[in-house]
Amino acid sequence: MSGADIATVALLGAAGFFFLGGTVALLRFPDVFTRVHAVTKADNLGLGLLCLGLALQADSPAAAVKLILIWIIVMIVGACAGNLVARHALVRNGDGSDEP
């Protein structure tokens, strides 16, 4: 195994850790705002580590750049989606509780 292979395995393992942490936070946190915050942060970091790990194994620099661009686009969209979910919870309940 080369150094790039070892780095890829480490980055993919770290990405899985952050994805798992985001999932646990989604299930355990008490209100919408903390859940949205935890999931968007953990998933963005997890996806970044995943894209970096895959970029190390890319056949061409263009493929690596595409992976990084995908990560940037998902970060922007994830922030917008999290904002929309939190805003809807605020308008609907005022306090972010799950009760209608």
Q: How far is CA 65 from the centre of its chain?
A: 18
User: How far apart (Å, rounded) are the C-alpha atoms in residues 62 and 79?
Assistant: 26
The answer on pLDDT for 84 being more than 60 is yes
pLDDT, tens only, 34-83: 999 999 999 999 999 999 999 999 999 999 999 999 999 999 999 899 99
Q: Is 97 a residue whose pLDDT tops 70?
A: no
CB 89, CB 51: distance < 8 Å: no
